[in-house]
Chains A and B, each alone.
Chain A
């Protein structure tokens, strides 16, 4: 029984969540200071990966990062590639889970009492200090739930990952891809084993989520 997909999935989900947590919180913070059409446009565009079929997202990523795209040619010139490598699993996972962090963080920030922020600013707290010392702690339960959901989403990403990162045993064969592969090859026991691991991890994550919500 090959358990490497478990380590690959965990590595990918952790890397992806670290990126989406950081970018999602910063983007949501930026959004709080803006109003108007640009801000609403950003809201709309960031919702797209959440509603598009993963295979369509995979196709879009292939067209944007593949050999014959502008980004792809730049990478090739530097001797690098994204398609069919482990970083591609992180890219695919991050793209589909970013909307979750962004929109949850945005909602959490907007729940903060404006007076708290005003008094903090009156005491000379601005910018990064305001974000880290005041906003994040106040919005933490909401943001943490977003991060946990993003992690679980990254763990379960299949369609876009399969297209961008491919099925490379020991390198990009995440749990969902391994389950698919085992089923195609008639290895049902292995598929069930990996599925059980995913179910257990997901239940743990959801339990943690419920605890946070109650806090």
Chain B
């Protein structure tokens, strides 16, 4: 029997149109839930291939400013989104908040447990994200200012590249303590929470999402941002320890 017609039919059935790329630049703290959301979104939208680019919000904003082909931007602070909105680099009509978080003080699980903030006075190395580029560092400075110890512990402060770097360094014991998000502390067994940030000690941690003005794939960007607000995505954020967004 001639196999050619069968082979051609098979080829036609398995050939699909190449998936369009969607570049999502998101804050480092969102890496875990977003990789799950990426899978769910791609399953529901087989014509879109999500490329997840995570780093500190400042780094991502600089990339967009320098012309990186980003479709969706999700920083860990409204300030970074506001800055890009002001220069017309993101479309504010597509902007919506997709999650919230909170700040905690952590110590290495391998060292003696600490409680509260008093021990920071004698800590040799306290790690925070670089406040200029890492929102977690900015929130940490607000907490320190609120507690009135920002100047006293300044000599011990070490700046991390992003909040994941801070979490990893504290977990490895290179730092005596560090400020990370509650979600980072929850997923890292080598971190112990010394204290949650006191109520009102930092501005609310809000993650806004918006499409870039020069997004290569505007239509897909809009679909992805809508998906972030869906039941499925919100449940993924909730399971990872994030809070519900307030618009």
Contact = CB atoms under 8 A, between A and B. Distances in A.
Interface string B162-175: 00000001001111
Contacts of B158: 84, 166-168
A179 B159 CA distance: 14
B125 interface: yes
A76 B37 CA distance: 43
Contacts of A39: none
A31 interface: no
A84 B65 CA distance: 31
B173 A67 contact: yes
A84 B125 contact: yes
Contacts of A66: 172-174
B241 interface: no
A183 B61 CA distance: 11
B97 interface: no
A81 B62 contact: no
A169 B173 CA distance: 20
Interface residues of A, number: 18
Given A184-B58, A185-B58, A167 B130 contact: yes
A164 B158 CA distance: 12
Contacts of A168: 157-159
Contacts of A167: 130, 158-161
A67 B61 contact: no
A67 to B, nearest CB: 4
Contacts of B172: 66-68
Nearest to B131: A185
A184 B159 CA distance: 12
Interface string A47-68: 0000000000000001000111
A129 B61 CA distance: 61
Interface in B185-234: none
27 contacts: A62-B174, A67-B174, A68-B172, A68-B173, A81-B124, A84-B125, A84-B158, A84-B174, A84-B175, A166-B159, A167-B130, A167-B159, A167-B160, A169-B157, A181-B132, A181-B159, A184-B56, A184-B58, A184-B130, A184-B133, A184-B161, A185-B58, A185-B133, A186-B58, A186-B65, A186-B132, A187-B132
Closest 5 interchain pairs by CB? A185-B132, A67-B173, A184-B133, A167-B159, A166-B158
Interface of A: 62, 66-68, 81, 83-84, 166-169, 171, 181, 183-187
Given A166-B160, A186-B132, 16 more contacts: A67-B173, A68-B173, A84-B174, A84-B175, A167-B130, A167-B161, A168-B159, A169-B157, A184-B56, A184-B58, A184-B62, A184-B161, A185-B132, A186-B65, A186-B133, A187-B132
